Chains A and B, each alone.
Chain A
Amino acid sequence: MHRRAVIVDYGMGNLRSVFNKLKVVGQHAEVSSSPEVIRRADFLILPGVGHFAKGISNIKELGLWDLLNEMVLVKATPIMGICLGMQLMANSSEEGDSEGFGWIEGRIHQNIHSDYLRFKVPHIGWNDVDRGIDNLFFEGVDGTKKFYFVHGYHMQCSNKNDVLATSEYDFEFVSAVQRKNIVGFQFHPEKSHLQGQKLFQNVLQIL
């Protein structure tokens, strides 16, 4: 695992916990917003918490938009998105009415609930992740273990094959996506105890 992993820092949220947990599973990562550093990566992590449109505009301002597109689509560099990082992979979002990378066919929608006093927004807490059977990414992850979520928007995928896992909070939603060299998690593996670390190990092994 002597890969050059880079955590893309586009000014959205806490990157330190992702860095720490990758280190625990034996993968050193560099945290950077520099196109030169990111260009040399052979594994990318796109984390992030916050507003979709702001995230995209930060990425463009940093001069990373074309670079990331080229690396992910042309060079097929493996990339793992977390939370907002996963959402940015969709075509577009209702949050700030913004375009996304479009690596995963889909759109980000606001969580709409039947009862806002029972189902508070955002969805914060530990929830089950239904990953079907024979899902290599979740191999060795105990099916009863929950993952930590914080989000007020969710992805709707156009292509069912891109859905890696689903979860339920009032309604069923996509909690993980995967297509070729691209994987994304709506929840936070880096804050999800040992099951999260196992997931990181699996991703690093598969992609």
Chain B
Amino acid sequence: MFRPRVIPVLQLMNKGLVKTVHFKNPKYVGDPINAVKIFNDLEADELVFVDITASREGRLIDLDFVERVGDQANMPFAVGGGIKDLRQIQSVLRAGAEKVIVNSAAMMTPGFVKAASDEFGSSTIVVSLDVKKGWSRKNTVWGMSGTRNSKKSPPDSALEMQEEGAGEIIINSINRDGTMLGYDHDLVRSVCKVSTVPVIALGGCRSIEDASKVCSFKWGGANAAGAGSLFVYHGPRKAVLVNYPDQSQLSSIFND
């Protein structure tokens, strides 16, 4: 049976692994290559790496790093951070990533996602929609690591990206990032209701049960559940510990 993916989403800064809260206050949690080794041993479904300062600093994620991940990883992985032209996508894929994640460029350059999916195939292009609730309590999609407001609603943005040819959509709640308060189910559902491409829910996950819940049709209907804090922290004091459930545990929780 098909089982929704449970995906560790790992943030990078200055070649270290970090974890933010509301996209702010990055805290160092370890060495990323070491984390890949551990996720290999634990047979994680897929990995996502995002260089959280690349776009703002106007540079691309370190390609040597992508190569080193590719040489290690026994599972598919996607890479994001500062990707803004087709040549960069080519080099990230050449370095060994299966998919690239675009966010700021998708937001700021209309037609970029279309050009990218035409060239590399839809299944290679993942669009991350970073969502924040503004003063008006309305959800809008943000670019540049949550610093620039596109003023578009998440479902509108998702539809637009899907039409341009995005193969997958990450719906990431900045308000829930790093909080471990549970997913924003209304937000996830609002996007899954209109999207015919797979949706990865992100932001707020505190347990595997949460991951399973957001993938159930009733609670969101996501195709995959991403989580950051859950897989790098352990216990109520948030001690740093890279972890991942074993496959039998996943199967039973996802009611396989």
Contact = CB atoms under 8 A, between A and B. Distances in A.
Contact of B93 (A14, A122, A150): A14
Contacts of A20: 70-71, 96
Contacts of A169: 2
Given A14-B98, A16-B96, A117-B193, A127 B121 contact: no
B97 interface: yes
A124 B98 contact: no
B221 interface: yes
Interface stretch (B48-56, B137-145, B196-204, B228-236): B196-204
Interface size on B, as a range, is 35 or more
Given A168-B2, A193-B74, A122 B167 contact: yes
A191 interface: yes
Interface in A5-61: 12-14, 16-17, 20-21, 49-51
B171 to A, nearest CB: 13
Contacts of A145: 247
A171 to B, nearest CB: 12
Interface in A75-91: none
Contacts, number: 106
B123 interface: yes
A16 B70 contact: yes
A196 B193 CA distance: 34
Contacts of A121: 196-197
Contacts of B74: 21, 191-194, 196-197
B164 interface: no
Nearest to B248: A144
A137 interface: no
A188 interface: yes
Nearest to B119: A50
B76 A122 contact: no
Interface of B: 1-5, 40, 43, 45-46, 70-71, 73-76, 93-98, 120-124, 167-168, 192-193, 195-199, 217, 221, 223-224, 247, 251
List the 3 closest A-B pairs by CB distance, nearest first: A50-B121, A16-B96, A116-B196
